[in-house]
Structure formats: structure tokens, C-alpha cells
Amino acid sequence: MTEPGETVRLGLAGIAVSTDPDRVLDVVFDGRRVWSFRADQAGTPRAADTGDGPEWWVPWPKQLAQHLKGVAEVVIRDQERTVLATEELHFGSSDERVRIEDRMGRPLIMDSKGRLSLPFEGNEDATGALLGAAHAVLGVLEDAGLEGFLAYGTLLGAVRGGAFIGHDNDVDLGYISERSQPVDVVRESLRLERRLVRAGMEVERYSGAGVKVFVYDDSGIRRGLDVFGGFWDGGLLAFLGEIHAPFRREWLLPRSTVTLEGEEFPAPAEPERLLELMYGPGWRIPDPTFVFDPGTAARERLSRWFRGVRDRRNQWDAWYHAAKLQRPFIKPHHVARLLHRAEPAGCTVVDVGCGRGQDMAFLASERHPTIGLDYSLYATDYHLERSALHGWPLRAELVNFLELRQVLGWGARLAREIEGPRAVLARHFVDSTSRRGREGLFRFSSMVLRGGGRLYLEFFASEDPREAEPDDLVWEVDHRDVAEDAIALGGTIEETTWFEPNWFELPWRTSEWDPKPRGCRMTITWA
């Protein structure tokens, strides 16, 4: 119940809360829960406008705010469904009801990572496909001599209620290797990945001991099934995502079974022990705001062992996860048109950092065989489907230019695969990566373009670059440093030009920069 002095006030810009800041509150739009938050996690303290004492100001999350257009009855309630505030809000000029949906009209919620996602709740089509995929992946693990089990949110839902957690959106499996050295755990995981691919599964590797299997549910939504690896580091359990803590072997093996959506699955010997390690002693109490935070020591150790180089990968995934749910961009950027006009008909184009995909789709529509490469491919589905419908020569691949193994592997592969004229396009790549990533691009281009073809760069540049903010995905670089790195890896700067970007050419909130950034275009060749 509401205590004296507790108030929650709703507004067009956010929510003012003067109650226990650790209290979990639900935000309900027109009868549907869309977001849950704790004020001390999602907001900042401030003096109350009413003069009644301190309060917390919680702005609407950026991804959610993009959907707040129209009218909605907004209710704030606690976990006991006690209503703390209710108000009819009118966002913008539209008189339509607010629709927090993806472009296919499917309901979205804010997950605990601050992303709009398609939850299990209200999407029953996901259940059958994911259960079948989980059984299939566990079978591949068994064939590889690995004893798999449900983990994280999937195990939590099974033990707590025998069902998927409504606000969850993927499936988690795990296994513990008998290997004792991280390098051997990685080699074993690579062998497992090859087994999964041979079994006909679509697999993405995101760490040395972790892979994601993509599953398409009955309504065509692509969902993730994460397979987390681990091993015994003496008396400590080292387990991805972020566990490196004392644990007893008999709490894991021999395995027990649990029931999930009416079907039996393997689980740790004492699943409650693992759940307490993952979620703390309050794991039995539902908390849609929970974010696993094991501390920096475990994260840093596991990153050194297994994650390689993933600079800003989570931020890119979050950005493009949101972008895929919005109206897709179709108009190509000017540099893509410049490339099309400069290169011969049928020239193969490799679009590095293809982003949302409008440039690679445009080039493919002009009959340039096009290959999109990116660190995160969340937002490319629309243009890949559009190209397949029209028969345009387009495909996309996940490539990390921060990892030398991938740079050399894909460079050799495409150098051998591409016949005839070729070009590489990299729009806002060198100004969104480290020097290591920039050198990866130039090594790759030297292999693909050796003997003919151009690299087309576009980036924000200044001789005195402004400092990048922690959440920036793109920033300014010194064009002289870019040229120097390219020349050091055998490149020849063919042309450098400057332009003033218009609103369409200013991505990633850079339209707010003052002064506005300058655009630089550079073409580079390799003899």
C-alpha cells in the first residue's frame, strides 16, 4: 500500500518519484505493462518541485520515447499492483492511441538492459520453436561429450514456475568443460560451433566460450538461444556470462531434471544453488528490473580469457536492436551514390560497417554484387529480405575488424572469391573504432583490393578532434592519422575531399554537436 508522503507524478518528459527508490514500479500504457524500473537505477535525485522534500526524476528511456506519439492512459503501480498514479497523457500532436509496437504491429516491452524487445509474454508462437531448438542443441552437446543444462533466466523460469519468464526474450543453456585451461575451453567451444553448424543451425560466436544459435519462431521472429561455456578454475566455477566464484562440483553433477512448459530438461544437480549464485538470495521473487552485476574482477578475468576484443559491441547491439524495430531507412547516403557513379557496372562492393543496410541495398539494386560486413547485424533484416524479394545480389556477414584472425580470414576469402572489378565502402567506420580496428580495415582492404579497386572512406574529421563522450558511437578523428595508418599498410591516398553534412548525413545524435562536425571523404588504393 502507499505510505504517507509517497507520491508519483507523471509528465510528458518522465516520472517524478518520492518513494523508496529501490522499489520496483511498473509502467502500464493502456492496460499493458511496458516497462518496470527502480528510481535509483533509472533516475537521478533532485529537489522536489512541490517542496515536499527530495525526489527522483526518471526520464522516459530514449527507445521508449521514440514511440510516445499520441494519447495513452499511463498507470504507475507497484509489484503488488497498488496504483500509485494514473493520468491520460497526450504526447505530441497526434490524437491516435500510443502504440508501442514493432513495424509488424507486435507488442514491445523494455527489457532489463534498456532495450525494446519482443517478450515471451503475448508471443506464444515462440514457445514451440524454442523448446524444440533447446532439445536439439542439448543433443549436439551430448554428442560432443558435454553435459548441457538450462541456465540463467530459462532455468529461473523453470524452477520458479515451470514456464518461460514473461518479460524474457531468449533461451539460455550452459555446460561445464572438463578442460582446465582457458585456451583448451576455447578450442572445445570452436569444435562445438562446427558441430552446431553441421547440424544445420545458424550460429554466431560472441566470445571464446559462448555462442548464440538463432531460432525462428512460428511467426517468423528471430530469437536467440545462448550457449554459455564454463570450466573449473581450481575450486572456483568460471562460467559465462560473469561468474567466477566458489562452487561445489556436486551442486552441478550429476544433473537433475526440471520441467519447462510441460517438457523435461536437464538442470544442475541442485539448481537452487546456481540460481542463488546468478541472482542472489532473493531469486525466488520476480524482478523484471534485475541486471546481473558480479563486479569488475570476474568480468575482467573472463574477458581476458574468452572475449577477445569487443569494444562497444554491446552499445552497437543495443543501438541496432532499437533500429530494427523502427521504420527502415531506404534512401542511400551520398558516398554510396558517388561509388556507384565512379565504379564500372557489375563492380563487386564490400560495405564495411553496413549498419542499417540502406547503402548496401542501393548498390545491390544497381546490380553491384554487394557484401555487407558489420560488427552487429541486428538491423539488416529488412534490406536483406527486400533484396531477396527483388533478386538483388546482396548478402551480409558478421565480422569483427578488431580481431586479426577475422581480418585475415575474411580478407583471404574475399580476395579469392571476388572476380573482376571490386571496391570497399566504409562509411563512418574509422571514426567509430579504435586504431586497432582502423588498421584491421586497411589490412583487409590491402588483401581484397590488391591489384585494383578503391577503398571509399567517409568520416568526421578535424585537426583538433573534440573529446568523445563515453556513450558516443561515433566521434571525430584527425584525417592525417587516418592517412598515415593507411600508408603504413601499403595504401596510396588517391583523393581527399571535405563537405558540410546535412541532417541526413549526421548520424548517431551528432546533429546536437556544436559546432557541427565536418565530413571527410578519402579514396585509397593498393598497388
Confidence band, pLDDT 50/70/90 cuts, at residue 165: confident
From 270-279, 347-356, 464-473, the region with the lowest mean pLDDT = 464-473
In this structure, the answer to whether residues 168 and 302 fall within a common structural domain is yes
- E strand spans, 288-406: 348-352, 370-374, 394-398
226 vs 63: which has the higher pLDDT? 226
Could you tell me if residue 1 is inside a domain?
A: no
In this structure, the answer to whether residues 144 and 173 fall within a common structural domain is yes
In this structure, the answer to whether residues 357 and 481 fall within a common structural domain is yes
* 434 touches 375 (CB < 8 A): no
Position 109 pLDDT exceeds 70: yes
In this structure, the answer to whether residues 216 and 146 fall within a common structural domain is yes
Per-residue pLDDT at 181: 95
With b for 16 or more beta-carbon neighbours within 10 A and e for fewer, the 135-169 pattern comes to: ebbbebbeebebbbbbbbbbbbbbbeeeebbbbbb
Query: Tell me, what CATH number does 325's domain have?
Result: 3.40.50.150
Query: How far apart are alpha carbons 487 and 442 in whole angstroms?
Result: 9
- Of 421, 435, 349, which is closest to residue 392 (Cα–Cα)? 349
In this structure, the answer to whether residues 56 and 134 fall within a common structural domain is no
End-of-domain residue from the set 86, 117, 148: 117
End-of-domain residue from the set 308, 343, 368: 308
Query: How far apart are alpha carbons 102 and 109 in whole angstroms?
Result: 10
Mean pLDDT of 491-504: 93
Could you tell me if residue 388 is inside a domain?
A: yes
In this structure, the answer to whether residues 494 and 388 fall within a common structural domain is yes
- Of 478, 503, 482, 501, which is closest to residue 491 (Cα–Cα)? 482
121: left (phi over 0), alpha (psi -120 to 50) or beta: beta
In this structure, the answer to whether residues 215 and 273 fall within a common structural domain is yes
End-of-domain residue from the set 270, 289, 308: 308
Could you tell me if residue 2 is inside a domain?
A: no
Handedness of CA 279, 171, 108, 294 (dihedral sign): positive
In this structure, the answer to whether residues 382 and 257 fall within a common structural domain is no
Could you tell me if residue 484 is inside a domain?
A: yes
CA atoms within 13 A on the CB side of 380: 27
51 vs 100: which has the higher pLDDT? 100
Mean pLDDT of 204-221: 84
Confidence band, pLDDT 50/70/90 cuts, at residue 1: very low
Q: What are 400's three cell numbers?
A: 569483427
Per-residue pLDDT at 460: 95
In this structure, the answer to whether residues 301 and 159 fall within a common structural domain is yes
Query: Tell me, what CATH number does 34's domain have?
Result: 2.60.40
Total domains in the chain come to: 3
Query: How far apart are alpha carbons 349 and 372 in whole angstroms?
Result: 8
* 275 touches 154 (CB < 8 A): no
Could you tell me if residue 330 is inside a domain?
A: yes
In this structure, the answer to whether residues 153 and 302 fall within a common structural domain is yes
Query: How far apart are alpha carbons 140 and 143 in whole angstroms?
Result: 5
* 253 touches 269 (CB < 8 A): yes
- Of 193, 430, 402, which is closest to residue 313 (Cα–Cα)? 402
Per-residue pLDDT at 121: 66
Query: Tell me, what CATH number does 232's domain have?
Result: 3.30.460
Query: How far apart are alpha carbons 349 and 342 in whole angstroms?
Result: 12
In this structure, the answer to whether residues 284 and 374 fall within a common structural domain is no
In this structure, the answer to whether residues 183 and 131 fall within a common structural domain is yes
Alpha helices in 50-181 (DSSP H): 62-65, 125-143, 152-161
Could you tell me if residue 325 is inside a domain?
A: yes
Per-residue pLDDT at 206: 80
Could you tell me if residue 499 is inside a domain?
A: yes
| Enclosing domain of residue 215 | 125-308
Q: Which residues contact 279 (CB under 8 A, 6 or more apart)?
A: 156, 290, 292
